[in-house]
Structure 1
Amino acid sequence: MTRAVRHTTDLVPGLRVGSVVDIGGGTGAATWAVAQAFPDLTTATVADGSTDALATGRRIARHGPPAVAAATWQRTHLRSDTVLPQAGLAIVSYLLGELADPLQEAVTDAAATASPTLLIIEPGTPRGYAAVLAARSRLTRAGWHVLAPCPQDGPCPIADRADRADDWCHFAVRLDRSALHRRLKGGRLGHEDEKFSYVVATRDPALRGTSSPGRVLRHPVTRKGLVQLEVCHADGSVGREIITKRSPMAYRAARDAAWGSTWPDQALDSAAVPTTVSSEDRNKE
């Protein structure tokens, strides 16, 4: 959740959040992530149906920043007629994929009514991506604008050509595991890679600004003398950028790029060659 929020603040530096409603928030993890990213946060509400999760979250929150420590922990059973507290930002995290389709739509609508800006995050699986994509489509049909991760409001280009079940939009963050974490999860490694899909949308088109940089959709492929990036572009396409050493500036930028980084839609120089990625090429990979 912290990485998704950080992606958002990187892409939308003008975004200010003074209040948040954390829908299906459980122990309030998303609220902690928002408090870390937005120092102006003063009011937080965590809404969840589990009294145990809310009690645990309230106990942990005593050690948090002021907005978290003073949060309201509200037991809420999500239904088609649920009314949520008003806030500057609404978060629906790791929830939609667990709901039936009609309730997914009702929760998305309730969150959109409660706040002018909405963050939805799900596990980075085909099912999680499908839930995010359905909510994204519902919001854009209602006139909302996508802030992150997409550089445009039109149809997802990956979904449009998703003739392969293993092709979906997601990102990843590496988490360090403590000894306790390893013991609880039966893990051996000192880390794990958490994959997630997300969307941030708003009613306010001014928040997007004048530029909509592309996003790197996969780990960059580095070979001798070149870097290959797969980028989602503002024109609604997915393309491949091949950057060579013939342009030091572009090459250095590409070497520093990572999965989820922004990338300019206009090539930094002539050595960045955009190409269309066909299904046949993808199958060969």
Structure 2
Amino acid sequence: MQYPQIPAFAARPGVIRLAGHRGARGVLPENTMEGFAFTLAAGVELLELDVTATRDGVPVITHNHRLTRSMIRGADGCWLQGEEPKVSSLTYAELQTYDAGGLDGRSTYGQRFPDQAFLTGVRIPRLADLLALLQRPEHKNVHLLLEIKSDPDLIGDTAARRKLVEAVVSEVRQAKMQPRTVLHSFDWDLLAECQRIAPEMPASFLTQLPDNADDPGEDSSKAVNPVAGCSALDLPDRVAAAKGQFWCPYFQDITADALARARALGLVTVVWTVNEPEDIDRMIALGVDAICTDYPGRVQRRLLMHGLHWRTE
């Protein structure tokens, strides 16, 4: 199958692609309409985002399975206390009573992003809200790297996992966004379900080798990512064997040999999450297809300094 999504993510002479991670997490609250709007205004045409579903089956854009007290305030304006509620335990209406507009600077997570703007009255959006925004003519070239979140508590619940994939795919199809969407996950079994249900959308296989530390303050992927015992050079062949079109490695894991192998297998390679100038420069030197970052402006400036661009027009 020829996928129309691939050229938007693939490098070409003079161009390395740029994806805004959860919008622009280093600058504005992550996975929010405000963050996505900023990223689009900056001329970034690839958006990475995370999707799960509420108790009443509404696909919503958020990374963690629980509302995390480092970034969520209650209706009283205070940071959450006590047990953090699971998104899947709340209806969409209940979810809208929480504010996702800032970070608690005292938290470990908040300290990772000291430059993120602090907003008030920001809600966790529906996937449908972002898809509607992207229907505007000025956003006709925007493509999505849509990560479906895999809940480790539901690894054995085939029906629940299928229902989540079906709900997400239904929203994308209703918006006629299939030609601009790539389905993306650390959970390769979930991706197999995506391939079965939505063969018109390419599968993007996320990887992180176990010897790399988890990012503090956010859900770990290691419980669902089947790469234990692998080396970086093993990963492209495993992705190709699973009929993936995209390999998305943690940037610390990729090597020149692994990238060459991915190219030989016809895989598009998108590295995540690359934020520091020296790391951005190393990815540029390697010649990856796309760089996913919390700081789109940093990558734009480094690309321009190297005589490169992130768009073809």
Q: When the two structures are superposed, what TM-score results if normalisation uses the length of structure 1? A: 0.35
Larger strand fraction of residues: 1
Question: What TM-score does the superposition give when structure 2 sets the normalisation length?
Answer: 0.33
Bigger RCO (CA 8 Å, 6+ sep):
2
